[in-house]
Structure 1
Amino acid sequence: MESIKLYGVNIGGFLSQTEDYSLTSVSKFITVDDFRKIRDWGFNTIRLAVDFPFLFTLSENNADRFSPIHSNFEYLDHIVSWAEELGMYLIIDLHKAPGHSFESSELHKNRIWKQNSPFQDIFLGIWTHIAQRYHPHENVLFDILNEPVAPTAEDWNYLAEKTVEKIRMYTKTNWIVIESNLWGKCKTFPELRKFDDENIIYSFHFYEPISVTHQKAEWLKFTREYHPYFVSYPGKMDTLSEALEKGHDADAKGLMNMFRDSQGMWDITRLESRMQPVFEFQQKHNVPILCGEFGCIAYAHPKTRQNWLSDLITLFHKNSISYTYWNYKNMHFGLCDYTLGFQDNPNYDENRMDQASIQILSRNTHKAP
């Protein structure tokens, strides 16, 4: 197995999770100088979150027809060249796909998993187009779907297998990233299929305990009500009272279950135990592993954020896990943040940088070859 080590950050809120996909808007948010800054911090990888609507349009009259947006692909070409010229890996992460969303409030829209769904053909067509265009760039990796939420493991394994087959028609060497089912959870890792392909990286996401990493998250009503105060790490997480469980709609059920799962003492030992299914998969199959997303919200106290990150980085290096932190800029988890809501946040210095977290994340990293 060829060795690959990825150390880096995600860039989200740029070509994904934005209300304005126009080039006029996105070109002002991230430039080559941001890539250079990330490299100079000691990282060799950027995981670039890209939503389907930035790259393609769907036909209104025929749901199984889609067309590339040529100007936006040309812009993505520039981004690929930025990474290439700086000696960095670029992971193209299909963050949202037609017929699929990882967001709890949109799960009812997930039609990609239905039998004979045209969205599976669209999905395969998307990756055919991307692979055709970017396979000559050896620094480009393909993360085929962000946080899949398939009804069964086999549903996801089947689509992943078909996607790998399509990509391998154009390249045998570009690395492909496959995430575990149900939002990239550790506990679903044993259900991932081990592919007969030496250039696949198996990936998980890690935000545990959610009562720490998502404390005071303003986009989650349930979280705001449960956490009107700082939650420390390491430390003991409060129990979820029955009173707080009442009055929330069905969309909150999954979140409430995660909070229940967060109860009790949390420290590096519990973090390690949570990742055990990943470590066992890695050891059994001798494959590279990537933690594609992990992060602690900037509403957390600086010491909590730093302690949590430090323990994770220790575990990643101990177990030869590659990693990309969520997120580089803004979006509540940023290593730098220029939004008014975080103007006086103690995690950031006068230059709007979280230098302490940057130093932790770049511990023992190496530049890309």
Structure 2
Amino acid sequence: TQVPAYSMEMIYDGADSEGVASYREMVVAVATMLARVGADKVALEPYNEPAYYPCDSSGSDDWQRIMADTVRAIRAVSSELTIVATGACGGSIAGLVNLTPGFDDPNLYYSFHMYEPHSFTHQRSDGTGAFASGLPWPADSSTPEKVTETLKAQMDAAGLSPVEQVMNMVAAREAIARYFEQNWGPSQLEASFSQAVDWAKAHGIPGRRVFMGEFGVILMSADGRMGAFDADRQRYIEAVRQQAERFAIPWSVWEFSNPHGMSLILPDGPPIADAGLLRALGLASQ
């Protein structure tokens, strides 16, 4: 549960802002409490998906300073509490590799969230009632024509008028074409993970302290308006998990339960584990 008084929104006025100082004070108070619980029992991740952009040299050094100052503040109250640091740009790999870990110590982990490509993992439209679903994984397992045909069939089944369908396809067709042009698949995943691994090696950080803190895919909704087909979702989840394990990167999946099927629990009905997702995660026998 998020406390509104300490929303991440308060940190976006720059490293020297009052909001950042207040947020850091809160983090130190939490760190002090957790240190009493026991450094071997808990870890503290002060920030989730910080929205500081861009992540290259054209950006400011605000996030670098915020993260470094936060680590130093926590270390002032506990040298042993495990800290999970993160890069900017929504906690992505691009943000992580732009972070300079001059504050590193053996009790620090470095998190990234893996939702690449976002066009596949988060298939949904900002438009009310719009359809944006059915992109495959990997891209070369289907065609733009097949995805378009399936989307039209789902709009027919939902009772959309011809005008509504045309308007929907104007937006959807561009996204479909772009996805297939990028041709996302195993090689792109490997390249993304390699960036994180190479960054860690360059800074003398063991791979086991690089942490994939989130990954997941929206499951197609019952009406077909959003999400990926379950078979594609499972293939992606398995591919990402295997890449992490190949590089000995610990991982955590998003999440236990939510209404979009991006979870370990089936989105509808009683709270039953999603057997297919457990298999994709290599947990079916556990």
Question: Structures share a fold, TM > 0.5?
Answer: yes
The one-letter amino acid of 1:329's match is S
> Paired residue for 2:263, among 315, 320, 334?
334
Give the TM-score of the pair, scaled to structure 1: 0.58
Say if 2:95 is the partner of 1:188.
yes
Alignment of 1:68-147 (within 5 A): 96-100=7-11, 110-111=12-13, 113=14, 116-136=16-36, 137=38, 138-147=40-49
Residue in structure 2 matched with residue 321 of structure 1 by the alignment:
249
Q: For residue 364 of structure 1, report the CA deviation from its aligned partner.
A: 10
CA distance in 2, matches of 1:192, 1:311: 26
The one-letter amino acid of 2:279's match is Q
Alignment of 1:126-275 (within 5 A): 126-136=26-36, 137=38, 138-151=40-53, 152=59, 154-194=61-101, 195-215=103-123, 217=124, 220-221=125-126, 225=130, 227=132, 229-236=133-140, 238=144, 260=178, 263-275=181-193
The structure carrying a bigger strand percent of its residues is 1
Q: Summarize deviations over 1:314-344 as a string: whole Å, max 9, x none.
A: 1111101111111111141121145xxx45x
Q: Find the residue that maps to 2:251 and give its secondary structure.
A: strand
Q: For residue 190 of structure 1, report the CA deviation from its aligned partner.
A: 2.5
Say if 2:210 is the partner of 1:289.
yes
Residue in structure 1 matched with residue 224 of structure 2 by the alignment:
none
C-alpha change, 1:365 and 1:132, in structure 2 (3 Å) is farther
Check whether the contact 2:254–2:263 (CA below 8 A) recurs between aligned residues: yes
CA distance in 2, matches of 1:365, 1:154: 46
CA distance in 2, matches of 1:170, 1:365: 41
Which structure has the larger Rg over C-alpha atoms? 2
Check whether the contact 1:211–1:262 (CA below 8 A) recurs between aligned residues: no
Check whether the contact 2:83–2:107 (CA below 8 A) recurs between aligned residues: yes
Aligned length: 244
Check whether the contact 1:238–1:263 (CA below 8 A) recurs between aligned residues: no
Q: For residue 245 of structure 1, report the CA deviation from its aligned partner.
A: 11
C-alpha change, 1:183 and 1:308, in structure 2 (3 Å) is same
Shifted more, 355-364 versus 323-332: the winner is 355-364
CA distance in 2, matches of 1:310, 1:267: 12
Q: Summarize deviations over 1:188-213 as a string: whole Å, max 9, x none.
A: 33310112322111111111222221
Say if 2:219 is the partner of 1:298.
yes
Check whether the contact 2:193–2:244 (CA below 8 A) recurs between aligned residues: no
Residue in structure 2 matched with residue 25 of structure 1 by the alignment:
none
Say if 2:281 is the partner of 1:361.
yes
C-alpha change, 1:182 and 1:286, in structure 2 (3 Å) is same
CA distance in 2, matches of 1:146, 1:170: 22
Check whether the contact 1:210–1:262 (CA below 8 A) recurs between aligned residues: no
Point out which structure has higher relative CO (alpha carbons under 8 A, 6+ apart).
1
The one-letter amino acid of 1:201's match is Y
Shifted more, 125-134 versus 277-286: the winner is 277-286
Check whether the contact 1:148–1:181 (CA below 8 A) recurs between aligned residues: yes
Q: Summarize deviations over 1:60-82 as a string: whole Å, max 9, x none.
A: xxxxxxxxxxxxxxxxxxxxxxx
C-alpha change, 1:270 and 1:203, in structure 2 (3 Å) is same
The one-letter amino acid of 2:138's match is P
Give the TM-score of the pair, scaled to structure 2: 0.73
Q: Find the residue that maps to 2:48 and give its secondary structure.
A: coil
Q: For residue 146 of structure 1, report the CA deviation from its aligned partner.
A: 0.5
CA distance in 2, matches of 1:336, 1:261: 28
Q: Find the residue that maps to 1:128 and give its secondary structure.
A: helix
Q: For residue 119 of structure 1, report the CA deviation from its aligned partner.
A: 0.4
Residue in structure 1 matched with residue 148 of structure 2 by the alignment:
none
C-alpha change, 1:261 and 1:185, in structure 2 (3 Å) is farther
| Unmatched runs of 5 consecutive residues or more in structure 1 | 1-14, 16-50, 59-95, 101-109, 248-255, 344-349
Check whether the contact 1:184–1:205 (CA below 8 A) recurs between aligned residues: yes
The one-letter amino acid of 1:361's match is L
The one-letter amino acid of 1:286's match is I
CA distance in 1, matches of 2:93, 2:196: 6
CA distance in 2, matches of 1:305, 1:265: 16
Check whether the contact 1:203–1:290 (CA below 8 A) recurs between aligned residues: yes
